[in-house]
Amino acid sequence: MPPPKVLMVAEKPSIALAIASVLSHGQMFTRRGSTEVHEFEGMFRDSPAHFKVTSVIGHVFSLDFPAKYQDWSATDPFDLFQAQVVKNESNPKAHICRHLNQEARGCRYLVLWLDCDREGENICFEVLESSGFNIRDAYRARFSSVTEKDVLKALDNLVKPNRAESLAVDARQEIDLKVGVAFTRFQTSFFQGKYGNLDSRVISYGPCQTPTLGFCVQRYLQMNTFKPEKFWSLHPYIFHNGYEIQLEWQRGKLFDINVAMMFQKLVAQDGVLKVTEMSEKQETKARPVGLNTVNLLKVASSALGFGPQMAMQLAERLYTQGYISYPRTESTAYPPSFDFRGALSAQANNPTWGNYVQGLLTNGYHKPRSGTDVGDHPPITPMRSAAEDTLGNDAWKLYQYICQHFIGTVCPDCKYLRRKVEFSIGGESFHCTGHNVITKGFTAIMPWLAVSDKNLPSFIKGQKIEVSKMELYEGSTAPPDYLTESDLISLMENNGIGTDASIPVHINNICERNYVQVQAGRKLVPTTLGITLVRGYQTIDPDLCLPDIRSFIEQQITLIAKGQIDHHYVVQHVIQQFMQKFSYFVKKIEDMDALFEAQFSTLTESGRILSKCGKCLRYMKYISAQPPRLYCGTCEEVYDLPQKGIIKLYKELCCPLDNFELLLCSMPGPEGKSYPLCPYCYSNPPFEGIEALINTAKTGTSGKMGKGAGMPCTLCPHPSCPNSLVSQGVCACPECSGTLVLDPVSAPKWRLFCNMCNCLVFLPQGAHRISTTRERCSECDSSIIEVDFNKKTTPLEDGSTLHRGCILCDELLHSLIEMKHGRGFRSSRGRGRGRKVGYRGRGRGGKMMDPKMSFRDF
């Protein structure tokens, strides 16, 4: 009988590889799949076994609402709280689910090597579900590093997956989804399009991102309401043994000038300082503990100028290239088995700190400070040596810091002598201090943390010294500055907002949504939108933007993780509370709106005059802020426009159906297409069934029209309007089910573009005029086009300029056209997708043909 098969699943491919390498002593067979599978023979629970080690790539599933809740306009956000939720595959293209199911076939046991935290426990159950394993045959390996010792120990001490912890994550997902989506949809819909200068594509809410924004706005409000106060302080100066020294007053600063002047008088009456006390104390500046993600992000932002998102991208790349250890970790304690000698040796040839490292290797390095072990991954350390030119400037800076920090952790502490001399005059005490470094320790490697020497002349106790100058210093208290990114990361960490991996995402979110801007010195300056939102929450329900909202959720799901309360009960309880908050927020939204009204301009006062309304025949205003729209002040109607592209008036032409003036939308760039549209038809398509077509064009799915999708003239089936698809369409698109239409403003670089995809076809360049005709090709039913060539460059033999023909069947025209795609050129040849393409698009039954054949010569 063959030995039983054991399937092992890790959280990411690199861990699968590491575990397999340890267990197989490097003797494994690796094959590719959705993720790599490593196979080898070994021992499992004292019997021979065949191992297969593979991995997922993070979470297998993510939570969402079923399809019927996806349409914003057809769903009341309040209903989302009680809606069902479904688990979809996180990354359907990776086919992780199928992969696990296939690999599980014929396996007797499952061993789960996922990170040892709640999320890891949750992924265990995702793997169980995907693979179809019975939990009876599944085991959990608990490990905190992938060293041989740890891996073998974990395999000898297998436990069962922890369902309670996994359920806590399920609960968190459901609560975050429902709360976030309900509030986001409600406030987006409420404010969208209401104000002219408000960028309101999405006005999001989330239990992590909103408190994050709250921190930035809170600081802004503190700055704004700050009242400076004057203060006074006595600054005596002395000349002693060639040093000029300013002494510090024991009382620091006083906020009453009369009191300060009284002391000044007392001191002046005495006139002579007496040395009362001299002391020396050895101080220690401790070496750093191991580097975790949050601290790396803080240094990257404050010292290197990299935002968290950027820093993580750089770190990720250094990690995948093998230069540093895994960059997402909370722990600052090194595992007991950590190979310091090995890691240090890799740095021994570095031109900057190599000599110092060699010293540590020969004279002995220090045991690092203990730090904290959260049981996830070891601190971030360099894994191998690197050179600046192979890494590139930014990655090198980050790598350099990681090396310096690592070396710093095994260096001696910095020690210095602190000298203090105390004086008395007129009954008041003053002092001065000096520093003398004894041992540089880790500051030799991290020079920016060095203690600078400050020498003091020698004094004798009881000595009397003249005051050379007595200054009554007048100062003023200063407001705090904007939060730096580094401050924000600390606040998030201390308040339990986000995780090492998600903190950069939240910060990025509030920047991208235009709630804050990163300014010089990586300071976070809230925008009017960000400030108004937070002030709105503060007036309606301050909880909504306080970090407690996250701690409340965390605390509730911890009850599930501990197995104390049923998970459905907790979810229902928390959801009930948020439903109440939501109802109250909806009821009071006018209070927030009042703040918006004060900050943003109404539609009437914003925008510029653009085109005529077909109903009242007056001019409408074009509002360019997202989402772009037209506003008719007379009819008080808003007409949505395409989200992207530059909008202009189109030759003062009018739509024959509704009399609205036509607009031209041009996409940027040399290959950007231009198309006309009627502002009324765009949002209110006049022909039945057109929505499905529009949605196919915009999103590739059918259904109701979503935001940002509309009917331009290039999709309009109007039979006689000169701008409609029927008039401007030339032939079927060879790439999709769309139609190639003439770009009416492309002269002299005449071209056709597809009304559905980004397919582009260049027509004879430099022609005077190219237009469609009502005639059709007898061969392929395409529109015959008329070309008026330039006199000088006409290809026609008799020097004439006018030519009519089909771009596919007319030899001359066909030889003059060239096919290109909007994004990246792909040859249409040999793609073998087996599409069935016929003539469609012009609304008339034509002879079926395969345009792919006609385009074969491109």
Residues recognised as catalytic: 326
Residue 521 phi, psi (nearest 5): 75, 15
Q: Which of 376, 444, 371, 440 is nearest to 407 (CA)?
A: 444
Rounded to an integer, what distance in angstroms lies between the CA atom of residue 332 and that of residue 335?
10
Nearer to DNA, 213 or 414 (CB): 213
Rounded to an integer, what distance in angstroms lies between the CA atom of residue 705 and that of residue 68?
14
Nearer to DNA, 157 or 320 (CB): 320
| Burial class of residue 462 (count of CB atoms within 10 Å of its CB; 0-12, 13-18, 19+) | exposed
| Burial class of residue 611 (count of CB atoms within 10 Å of its CB; 0-12, 13-18, 19+) | buried
Rounded to an integer, what distance in angstroms lies between the CA atom of residue 261 and that of residue 269?
12
Nearer to DNA, 87 or 235 (CB): 87
User: Strand pairing of 646-654 and 637-640?
Assistant: unpaired
* Residue 542 beta carbon to DNA: minimum distance, rounded to whole angstroms: 17
Q: Which two tokens stand for residue 476?
A: 């003023």
Nearer to DNA, 498 or 851 (CB): 498
Q: What are the CA-CA distances from residue 411 to residues 29, 283, 368 (Å)? A: 42, 17, 8
User: Strand pairing of 138-140 and 109-113?
Assistant: parallel
Rounded to an integer, what distance in angstroms lies between the CA atom of residue 814 and that of residue 794?
15
Residue 586 phi, psi (nearest 5): -60, -45
* Residue 205 beta carbon to DNA: minimum distance, rounded to whole angstroms: 6
Rounded to an integer, what distance in angstroms lies between the CA atom of residue 152 and that of residue 139?
14
Q: In degrees to the nearest 10, what's the CA dihedral of 777, 779, 781, 783? A: -30
Q: Which of 88, 81, 42 is nearest to 63 (CA)?
A: 88
Nearer to DNA, 293 or 347 (CB): 293
Q: Which two tokens stand for residue 271?
A: 């006139």
Q: Where are the beta strands (DSSP E) in 114-176?
A: 138-140
Residue ranges in contact with DNA by CB under 7 A: 11-14, 57-59, 62-65, 70, 72-73, 90-91, 94, 115, 117, 119, 172-173, 176-177, 180-181, 184-185, 188-189, 192, 201-202, 204-210, 316, 320, 328, 498-502, 505-506, 509, 699, 706-707
Do residues 154 and 141 touch, judged by C-beta distance below 8 A? yes
Nearer to DNA, 545 or 837 (CB): 545
* Residue 842 beta carbon to DNA: minimum distance, rounded to whole angstroms: 29
Nearer to DNA, 290 or 846 (CB): 290
Q: What are the CA-CA distances from residue 457 to residues 19, 164, 421, 540 (Å)? A: 62, 67, 10, 62
| Burial class of residue 809 (count of CB atoms within 10 Å of its CB; 0-12, 13-18, 19+) | middle
Q: What are the CA-CA distances from residue 234 to residues 254, 425, 459, 533 (Å)? A: 9, 12, 22, 45
Nearer to DNA, 89 or 786 (CB): 89
* Residue 70 beta carbon to DNA: minimum distance, rounded to whole angstroms: 5
* Residue 370 beta carbon to DNA: minimum distance, rounded to whole angstroms: 24
Q: What are the CA-CA distances from residue 749 to residues 129, 774, 820 (Å)? A: 56, 23, 13
Rounded to an integer, what distance in angstroms lies between the CA atom of residue 496 and that of residue 518?
23
Q: How many CB atoms lie within 10 A of CB 573?
A: 12
Total number of residues shown for the chain: 858
Sign of the Cα pseudo-torsion (775, 777, 783, 784, in order): negative
Single-letter code of the amino acid located at 160: K
- Name 429's bridge partners: 424
| Burial class of residue 347 (count of CB atoms within 10 Å of its CB; 0-12, 13-18, 19+) | buried
* Residue 439 beta carbon to DNA: minimum distance, rounded to whole angstroms: 39
Using DSSP, state whether 675 is helix, strand or coil: strand
Nearer to DNA, 204 or 724 (CB): 204
**Which residues lie closer than 8 Å to 782 by C-beta, 6 or more apart?**
730, 731, 776, 806, 807, 808, 809, 839
Using DSSP, state whether 98 is helix, strand or coil: helix
How far is C-alpha 799 from the geometric centre of its chain's CA atoms?
Answer: 60
Residue 361 phi, psi (nearest 5): -70, -40
Nearer to DNA, 293 or 724 (CB): 293
* Residue 304 beta carbon to DNA: minimum distance, rounded to whole angstroms: 20
Do residues 378 and 335 touch, judged by C-beta distance below 8 A? yes
Q: Which of 785, 707, 703 is nearest to 741 (CA)?
A: 785
Nearer to DNA, 70 or 233 (CB): 70
* Residue 110 beta carbon to DNA: minimum distance, rounded to whole angstroms: 19
